[in-house]
Structure formats: C-alpha cells, structure tokens
A and B are shown apart, each in its own frame.
Chain A
Amino acid sequence: MEDSAELLGNDERKKPRRGNPWIKAEQALGLRASRWAMLLGAVQTVGAIIQAACAAALLAAMLHISPAGWSVALTAFGFIAAALLRAYLQMLAEREGFELGAAARRRLRGLVLSTLLALGPAGLRGKHSAELAATAVDRVEAMDGFHARWIPATAQAIIGPVLIGIAALYADWRAGLTLIIAGLFVPFAMAVAGIGASVAAKKQFLAMTRLQIRFLDRIRGISTLVLAGRANDEAAALAQAAAELRQRTMRVLRVAFLSSTALDLAAAAALVIIVLRFAPVLHGALALAPTALFLVLLTPEFFAPLRAFSAVYADRMAVEAIAEDFQALPPPPLPVPPVNIRSVAAYGVTLAFDRVTYAWGDAKPVLENLIFKVGKGEILLLTGASGAGKSTIMDLILGFLQPDSGVVSINGAPLETLVPAARTKMLGWIGQKPVIFAGTIEDNIRFGRPEASETQLADAIRHAHLTELIASLPQGLQTPLGESGFGVSGGQAQRIAIARAFLKDAPLLLLDEPTAHLDPAVERDVLESLRHLAIGRTVVLATHSTMAMDFAKTIGAKRLDLDALRYASWRSEVV
C-alpha cells in the first residue's frame, strides 16, 4: 500500500531550514556552558604533545641516536606523568560531558513542563497528552547528545588541531605547515565538493528516520493490518520500501562519503609527506631524529579530534529532527494582567454569565450572548447535545478559556480580576473520567488537599461511600493505584473524585457529565453521593443522562437547555 516516492516527497517538504533559530539558541547556551570542558580538552592536548615529545626522545635513545642514561629514566617518567594526566583528564572530560547533557536536559524538561502546566488544558487542545509527554521525556532525552558530545567535540575539533599545529610548527616549520595544510584541506575539500559530511550525515540520518517512522506507524496499527488480513502484504511492502530507500540513499552516500575520504586522504598524505620529508635529512643529521619521530607520533593526534567530530555528527542531526517538536510548543502564558486584582469572600458563591460569547477559532460561536445567574446554594442543570457548549461553559468558569466578549463573574467580580490562587480555591470539579494518578488511594484522595487532617480524610471517604471498598483491600488506604496498581472501576474512580471534592471543600462545584460512563446501578449510587456533596454549595451540573436530570430536579435545580437556546436564536434569525 505504499508509494515510497510520496513518502520521500513528503519528508523533503519539511526539510529543516538552514540555521534554525531554536537550534542556534541551544548551541549558544551549550557553548557558554562548556567552557570548563573546553579547558579540559585543551590541557589534554597539551598532555598529548608532551607525551609525544617524551616518546620521541625515548625512541631516539632506543635507536642509539641520542645517548642513553639518566635522561632516559627522566623522559620515561615524563611519559608516565603525561599519560596519567591525560587519563585523568579524559575521565573528567567524559564526566563533564555527561553533566553538560544532564544540565541541558534538566533545563529543557523544566521549561517544557512548566509551560505546559501553566497553560493548562485549554492551551493544549488538539494535542494528545501522550504526544506531549513524549516531548517532555523522549525528545528532551534526545537532546543529550547535542550538549554532552557534539558541542564539546566541535570545540575540540578546533582547539586540538590548532594547539598541535603550533607545536609542530615550533618543532619543524615545514612538517608543521604540512599538517596545517592537510588539516585545512579537510573542510576545504568538503566545501569544494559542495556536499560535505553534513549532507552525507543528513541523508543517511533522514533515510533511517523515514524507515523508523514508517515502521513505527505500521507497528502501531498492526492489529488493524492483521484483522484486515493484510499483514503479509504490508510486510512485503515494508521490505520493498526499505529496499528502494536503500538504493536511493546509497546513490547519494556514494558521493557524499567522499568527504570522509578527504579526511582519510589528508591524514595518510600528511603522514607520508612528513616521513618522506625527514628521511633524506636523517642520513646526515642524526640530531633531527627526535623531531622526526615527534612529528610522526603527532600526526594521528592531530587528526583524532577531527575524527571524533565527524563521529558525533549524528547527534547534531538528531536535533534537526526534534527541534520542530520544541518549536511547536505553545508559548508560555502571559503573566496575569495588572488590573486591580482582588479576592472575594468565599462564603457562598453567586456565579453569573453576562452576555458571554465564545467561538473556537474562526468557527461559528458556540456561545452567543449567554446570560445566566446561579445564586448561593443554587443548582443549575445544563443540558444540550454534545458540542452545544456545556464543556465550554465549564472551561470558562474554570478560567481555562477567556470569553471573546462578555463577563463571567463570581460574587460580582469579573473572573480575570481575581487572584488566580483564590479563584482556584473556590472551585471544585468532577469530570466524566477522573484521572487516577500513580500512587496510593490515600495519595489520590489527598490530591484534593495534601495538608488535610486525618479526620477530614476519614470524613471525605465516608461521604464518598469509599469505606467499604477500602476495607475490602488488603492494603487498605495504602493500596497502589494507577497503571501498574489496582485497577479501579469507573464508579470507584468517580467516588475517589467525589472524595477529592469533599476534601477540597470548595463553595462552587462544577459537575461535567459525572455519570456519563457508568452503569445505571452505579450511576444511582454515585448521584446519591453527589447529593451529599451538593449541600450548601453552588452547583453547575452538565449532563446527558436522564437519571442525572431527574436527580437534579429532585434537589430543585434550575435548568438551562442550550439546544433550546440555539434553536431560539436560529428561529429569530430566520424570522
């Protein structure tokens, strides 16, 4: 079922632009953080130069060119000291690289999560929570290589050859010049070829990524493929796509790998030229021997940082692929506007909508000039088909959405003029499917108010009719819940949410289809618990369920039918 030309075309289209500003900013941060790592690298290089000099002197003595004696022992000692220093610094540098990556991950993860938490649910509409969690966890992890390896390696690819080049020039300017020219040839050859290591790495990386994405997609949908009886065809198509991708990629790589070959060529040529340069001289000038050996030993050290740099290029490429995910995150919310913020007495709450209009994007408004008022201790029943605006009303009260026009007010004070923390304190909410967090039952109930006393907790459990359930569990309140723990049923989850609301004890209670997913028998029971919860509070209940509507009527609710409102406005338009 695949036309891989299209697959390719699709990816080409979203090819990362040159000089992505987000990556540039990350790079600047990374460079600033890696000064210590750069210093470690520079000192390591100096150690390598000293060690090469010692080894050259030792070899010269061994070849009976320079006299052997106490100086040999001293040089050997110098060799050992330099080796120990290098080993130690290498270890430090490796650990420092890890710390750089760890710090960057901490910073990015903190940023992503605090932005998402500050925005709340309304800012994230249309994004799946698993997708966002993947950005916060996996994408952040994938940034590790960039900070831990790529940035230090980039710096070292300049520092190392420069220091060694200077040492080589000092020892013998002709050989030094050979090394430097060979070193400069590497980027020059890449630039002249116009393809560069980056293109090779990019193509290779993109090819792999494409295959991986396609594979992930097919694996995720594997049951759909199996149940449609198409698993075999798809396996064949997968193999075929991989083969086509391979041929296409290899065609590019055959040319692109020439840039890595430039590095090999430069390294080999430099070595050969240096050896040949010294050979004729040596016949007559034995004093030159240590220098010759020094330069031969230095040549691999000169190219090592360049090799290390091209080895971590994949870490750089990985960032191109994930930068988009970070850039796609919504910007952090603006700070609370500096109007006269106030707090209202939380003894009983009157909620009012005054000519509130709200539209999702450019669509037709869901709510138009909506006016209603719920007095202290009153109950409002909101009804209407899905999409009629029940959840929008809830989100407006919760402050997750701001009205396009009109005012939502609590006790006469417009919502946006209230201190956010004070506003949150006044609100209780129970939705269709309460989220049960990983943790014990107690943790989950206390989520409503962690500092609640034991008595308050016990009261909440009793009011929410959870006593029996907890007594039946061997670990009682400490029973772990969540993904790997005890699976609670829909009704039990709803009771936990009710206990949370009891504990929070907020004067304004929002119930958003609290029984939508329950069995009739369980629904009756949950409604009974809600009746207790509703006493003395201002309540807005949105529901589809006839049982919940009947229940609302028995406790004297006012009703607002959004369908009827819409119908009326539609009729007035026609007339």
Chain B
Amino acid sequence: MNPVLRIATLWARHTLWLGAAVLLALAAMAAGIALMGFSGRYLAAALFGFTLAVPLALQFTGFARVVLRYLERIIGHEAIFRALADLRVWMFRGLAASAAGGLGYRRAGDALSRLVNDVDTLDGLFLRIFVPGLSALILAPILGWVLWQEHSLALIAIAPFLIVAFYMPLRAAQEARANAGKAGLAMSGLRSTALDALHGLREVKIFEAEGRMLAAVQSREAALLAAQRELVSRSSALNAQSFLLAQAAILAAILLGFFGAPTAALVAVLVLIAAFEIVLGLPRAGVLYGQSAAAAARVVHAAEAPPPVPDPAEPAPMPSRNAVAFEHVSFSYAPDRLPVFENLSLQLPQASRTAILGPSGAGKSTIAALLLKLIAPSAGQIRLGGTDISLLPAEAVRHRIAYLGQTTHLFADTIRNNLLLGDPTADDARLWAALEAAQLADEINALPEGLNSWLGEGGATLSGGQGRRLALARTLLMDAPILLLDEPCAGLDAATEQEFFKVLNTAAEGRTMLLILHRLTGHENLDRIWRLTGGTLISAAG
C-alpha cells in the first residue's frame, strides 16, 4: 500500500472530526466563492439599473465566511491534534513491537531521531495537502456550472483550473520525489562530515586540520544547497506557470463574456479569481507531498517491521527456576558475515554471580541481547530454568530479567517517574531504599525538590556517575530474579566504580547475576569469571 495512504488510514478513527474539518473548510470556501459571486451579481445588476435583494445575501455570505473560517480552524486543529497523537502512539507501539530492542542495543539514537523527524514531516499532510486537494476536487464541478452559465465556450477556462489543481501538483510532487534522494544524500553527507569534525575535534586540532574539516563541511553544504536550489528553481517555474494559467483562464473568461450573458460573465470571472486563489497553493502542496512520501515510507517501514524474534504460537509454561544455560550457541548478524561466536556454552546456576570479560567488539553485548530475546541464535539453545527460551514469550522472559545496559536511557521526567519505571507500584519508602542501595539517596535528598526534581533530556541535570547510579536504582527496583548488567560503569571514574560494585554486591544478594565488563576493578564479588576472545569463552578465574 502507498505509505502516505497507509498513514491516512491510521486517522480513520477520527473520521468524524476530520470529516467535519473538511466539510467546514469546504463550506468556508463555498462562502468565499459565493461572496465574490454575489458581489459580481450585485454590481452587474446595479449597472443595468435593476435592484435585487442581494445586499442581504452579500452580508450573509460575508458573515458566514468569517464564522465558517473560524470554526474550520478550531475543528481542523482539534482533528489534527488527535491525528498527530495517534500517529505517534502507533509509531511508538510499532517500534516497541518490532525493532525496539534491536535499535536500542546498537547505538541507533541518531537513526531514531531521524525517524522522529520523519513523523514531524507528516504532520503537514492533512492540513496542507488533503484539505486543499479535496476542496479543489469539489470546486471543479461548481466552477464548471458557473462558467457554463456564462457561455458554453467559457467551459474552456476549466481546463487551466484542472491543470493547476491536479496536474501541476503532480509534477511538483515528481520533481520533489526525484530531488528527495539527492537532497537526502547531501544532507546525510553534511551531517556525517559535521559529526566527524566535532567528534574528532582532538585529532583535528592536533593535526591542524581545522581548515580541511571546515572546507569539507562547506563542500557538503554546497552540495546540499545545490540540490535544494535545483528543486526551488523547478518548483518556482511551476508556480509561475500555474499563475500564468490562472491569468489566462481569467482573461479567457472575460473575453468570452463579450459573446455571452454579461452578468453571468462578471459572476464567473469573480468566482474564477476566488477559485484560483484556493488552488494556486496546490503545486506547493505537491512539493510537500513528494517530500513526505519518502518520510512516510520510512516511518511505515520502521513501524511495521516484523519482530526480529517472533514469539512462539503456543508458548510453553514459564519455568519456576532461574538458572540460565547457553548450549552450543552460534550467532552471526547476517548469513554472509562472520559469526560473532560459534558453539558457545555457558552455565549460570541459580543465584550465582558470573562475569564475562573481553574487549569491545568481542560479542559480550550479543550474549545479553540473546538472553533478552532481542536476537535469536542461529544454532543451539538458551535455557531458562531448563526450558528453551524460544518456546517462551519474550515479554515473560524479560520480566525475569532486570537489565542495565550501556545505553539505558534516563527520561526527561522527574526522578520519581524515572524510578517508577522499574516498579510502578513502589511507594516512596521503596524508592528511597533503592536510592540508598545505589548510594544516591543523599544527593537526591539535597536537591530542593527531592524525588520530584526534573531530569533534563537524557538525564542532563545529573553527572555521569549519578545518572548511572539512578539507572542502577531503577534496575534494583525491578523485582526480577536475574540481574543482567552490561558495562554498568561505563563513563564512571574509578572511585565511583568501586563504590558501585560494593553496592552491587549487597544489592544483588540472592539473584542470578551476569556482569559484562571489559576489565575487572577487583571489587566485584564473583563466583566465575570468563573471558570472551575470538568467539570462545575461556575461564579466567573463579
């Protein structure tokens, strides 16, 4: 299905609101047209010495137009706010069900932000494309009738109207779509070059590459501007052509009036002017459509992607025990890529504490992702309490695991709400106990608003160490028997790291724990230590 239409079907729930908005828009448009028409009729009638009871109609249509426009705005915005919310909730649910975890454990923050940008682009679809498009569709027969009244030949003037209302937007959309690829490529080139320059600022300074980097960014920018300029030059030409078509139609209607009924001709001309005022914006809407088509395709693709690990049709009952076993597990990210590991086996007895060490890129986090059912092994089995997790629903498996990863997110919300994510039923006493356990209670207590303090985006108001400890407190609140920690101390200084592990040693009491680290600090209390290198686990100690 066309992705733009797919998005439109999401709004079916609000048919009433959207329908009302469209109807009001049409009524307001009709009142505007009628206002011009009546003005023409009244003027013409006056010229020929008739007196018609038009003034009332004139005042009425004028007033109706003002009121209808107001209602159109109110209802239109009500409708669009509803549609907007639905689009976002749908997208959120879709992502959560499909690729969510997958997107999260690879660092895909930027890809997600881009997707959100795409959703924002789609906001314009309804008010700026559907409503005027529909208006034009309904306007065409009315206009035809009015022109017919003037002179049968005057119907010719409908042709430019149809071209401006339908053909020009189509061409504009095609131009925009053809350009979207080029502009998108230039934009991502610009983005990655700018990111490179700033991410590698140290290298840039040390190797005196400031000028080179600036030049590289500016050349990418020039490419972007060239692509955009191309579209502007084409669409501005289309707009100018549309304008000329409108003027040609108006001139034709005037000249044909010499051969037909003058009054009807004056009415027709004024109506034509008002009608073109409405559709002259459509070629611009066409550009917008062409640009949102790609965004809509990306959004639909992401939201409707199938889950990476499908849940079993008939799930097995959840096991009562919480030992974890990897049995001869192999995994590779794609069939044509080298396996991350092959034939890997690992036992995590109930209530044991295990660490897996290894350099970054060795596949440690892949073990976590496999256990969380974010990915599935290409061979072998993972057992939870003796049951193969492929037979268990992902949500139930995750319910047993309290996970703290490198990318665990702190939300732009209060500290309380961030903690409640771990256990929505927890009372203040439990929240403080968790903060106490994570060695954060004193610092939160010192904040003027305590638990109600607002965290900035990504926890920006906390230091790195405080943020990690808050994430730990949240993880500890989850009443899950398995604790899975993936580099919980990334970004912490040594002293904080030591404190963190001391806290962890008591807080994890009685739970099955798997700790993933690139090196040990010596303060972890562990039963077993493995080192993951070259795709195999080697016992390091314990």
- Whether A224 and B198, one on each chain, are in contact in the complex, defined by CB atoms closer than 8 angstroms, is no
In the assembled complex, the CB of A272 is this many whole angstroms from the nearest CB of chain B, namely 5
A565 smallest CB distance to B (angstroms): 16
The answer for the CA separation of A348 and B487 in the assembled complex, in Å, is 42
Which residues from B are CB-within-8-Å of A336?
A: none
**Contact A223:B101 (CB < 8 A) given known A117-B197, A519-B359:** yes
Q: Given A211-B88, A246-B81, A272-B59, decide whether A91 and B266 contact each other with a Cβ distance below 8 A.
A: no
List the A side residues contacting B196 at CB < 8 Å.
435, 437-438, 482
Sample 17 A-B pairs with CB under 8 A, ordered by A number.
A58-B251, A64-B262, A84-B244, A113-B213, A130-B195, A224-B408, A225-B96, A225-B100, A226-B100, A238-B88, A242-B89, A246-B85, A272-B35, A280-B46, A425-B208, A489-B361, A500-B207
Chain A residues whose CB sits within 8 angstroms of the CB of B103 once the complex forms: 222-223
Select from chain B the residue with minimum beta-carbon distance to A84.
B244
In whole angstroms, what is the CA distance A136 to B201 when docked? 14
Among candidates A220, A249, A521, residue contacting B112 with C-beta atoms closer than 8 Å? A220
Asked if A386 meets B493 with Cβ closer than 8 Å, knowing A238-B88, A286-B47, the reply is: yes
> Per-residue 0/1 for B244-273: is the Cβ within 8 Å of any A Cβ (1 yes, 0 no)?
100110110011011000100110011001
Q: Are B191 and A133 in contact (CB under 8 A)?
A: yes
Check if B89 sits within 8 Å of A239, measured CB to CB: yes
With the chains together, A231 CA to B100 CA distance in Å?
A: 10
Q: How far is the CB of A458 from chain B (nearest CB, A)?
A: 19
Is A518 an interface position by the 8 A CB rule? yes
Is the beta-carbon distance between A271 and B62 smaller than 8 angstroms?
yes
A98 CB contacts on chain B under 8 angstroms = 228-229, 232
Q: How distant is B373 from chain A, measured CB to nearest CB, in Å?
A: 10
- Smallest beta-carbon distance A384→chain B, Å: 9
Q: Which of B322-330, B415-423, B499-507 contacts A (4 or more CB under 8 A)?
A: B415-423
- Residue pair A226, B101 in contact (C-beta under 8 Å): yes
Q: A217-B412, A271-B39 are in contact. Are A117 and B258 (CB under 8 A)?
A: no
For A58, the chain B residues whose CB sits under 8 A away are 251, 254-255
Interface residues of B in 465-482 (CB under 8 A from A): 474, 478
Query: Shortest Cβ distance from A308 into chain B, in angstroms?
Result: 10
Interface: B297 (CB within 8 A): no
CB distance from B327 to the nearest CB of A (A): 23
Contact yes or no, A518 B359, CB < 8 A:
yes
Chain B residues closer than 8 Å to A293, beta-carbon distance: 43
The residue from A95, A207, A228 contacting B236, defined by CB atoms under 8 A apart: A95
Cβ–Cβ < 8 Å partners of B398 in chain A? 226-227, 229
- Residue of B362, B405, B412 contacting most chain A CB atoms (<10 Å): B412
Encode contact with A along B41-85: 1 for CB under 8 Å, 0 otherwise: 011101101000001001100110110011001100110011011
Residue of A nearest to B409 (CB): A221
Q: Is the CB of B96 within 8 A of A231?
A: yes
Write the chain B residue with the least CB distance to A123: B201
Q: Which residues of A226-255 are within 8 A (CB) of B?
A: 226-235, 238-239, 242-243, 245-246, 249-250, 253-254
With both beta carbons as reference points, the residue of chain A lying nearest to B203 in the complex is identified as A435
Query: Other CB < 8 Å A-B pairs besides A261-B69, A296-B43, A500-B203, 9 of them?
Result: A1-B420, A129-B198, A136-B194, A216-B113, A224-B408, A231-B100, A279-B55, A428-B206, A435-B196
Residue of A nearest to B102 (CB): A223
* Distance in angstroms between the alpha carbons of A386 and B492 in the assembled complex: 9
Is B320 in the interface zone, CB < 8 Å from A? Answer: no
| Chain B contacts for A354, CB-based, 8 A | none
**A257, CB-defined interface residue at 8 Å:** yes
Taking the closest CB of chain A, its distance from the CB of B10, in whole angstroms, is 13
Which B positions have Cβ atoms within 8 angstroms of A?
Answer: 35-36, 39-40, 42-44, 46-47, 49, 55, 58-59, 62-63, 65-66, 69-70, 73-74, 77-78, 81-82, 84-86, 88-89, 91-93, 95-97, 100-101, 103-105, 109-110, 112-113, 115-116, 119-120, 123, 187, 190-210, 212-214, 217-218, 221, 225, 228-229, 232-233, 235-237, 239-241, 243-244, 247-248, 250-251, 254-255, 257-258, 262, 265-266, 269-270, 273-274, 277, 358-362, 372, 395, 398-399, 401, 403, 405, 407-414, 417-418, 420-422, 424, 452, 454, 457-458, 474, 478, 493-495, 497, 518, 533
In the complex, which residues of chain A have a beta carbon less than 8 angstroms from the beta carbon of B78?
A: 246, 250
For A242, give its contact among B62, B85, B123, B236 (CB under 8 Å).
B85
> Chain A's nearest CB lies how many Å from the CB of B493?
4
Q: Which of A220, A293, A519 has the most CB of B within 10 A?
A: A220
The 6 closest A-B pairs by CB, nearest first: A223-B104, A221-B409, A242-B85, A435-B200, A83-B247, A231-B96
From A95, A121, A449, A521, contact of B201 by CB (8 A): A121
Assembled-state Cα–Cα distance A130/B113 (Å): 11
Which residues of the other chain, A, contact B201 by a CB distance below 8 angstroms? 116-117, 120-121, 124, 129
Q: With an 8 A cutoff between CB atoms, is A329 at the interface?
A: no
Instruction: Establish whether residues A62 and B257, one from each chain, have CB atoms under 8 Å apart when the complex forms.
Output: yes
Binds B, one of A2-10, A404-412, A472-480: A2-10
Chain A min CB distance to B354 (Å)? 20
B58 contacts A272, C-beta separation under 8 Å: yes
Binding site for B on A (CB under 8 A): 1-3, 6, 10, 51, 55, 58-59, 61-65, 68, 76, 79-80, 83-84, 86-88, 90-91, 94-95, 98, 102, 105-106, 109-110, 113-114, 116-118, 120-121, 124, 129-130, 132-133, 136-137, 204, 207-208, 211-235, 238-239, 242-243, 245-246, 249-250, 253-254, 257-258, 260-261, 264-265, 268-269, 271-272, 275-276, 278-280, 282-283, 286, 289, 292-293, 296-297, 300, 304, 385-387, 398, 400, 421, 424-425, 427-429, 431, 434-435, 437-438, 447-450, 482-483, 489-490, 500, 504, 517-519, 521-522
Contacts of B454 in A (CB 8 A): 6, 10
Smallest Cβ-Cβ distance to A10: which chain B residue = B454
Interface-central residue, B110, B190, B202, by most chain A CB under 10 Å: B202
What is the bound-complex CA distance between A50 and B371, given in angstroms? 76
Q: Are A229 and B43 in contact (CB under 8 A)?
A: no
B198 touching A225 by the CB < 8 A rule? no
B247 nearest in chain A by CB position: A83
Q: Within the complex, what minimum Cβ distance (angstroms) separates A49 from chain B?
A: 15
Residue from B42, B77, B205 in contact with A279 in the complex, judged by beta carbons closer than 8 Å:
B42
Say how far B509's CB is from chain A's closest CB, in angstroms.
21
Contacts of B55 in A (CB 8 A): 276, 279
Contact (Cβ within 8 A) B198 A132: yes
A480 to chain B, nearest CB (A): 12
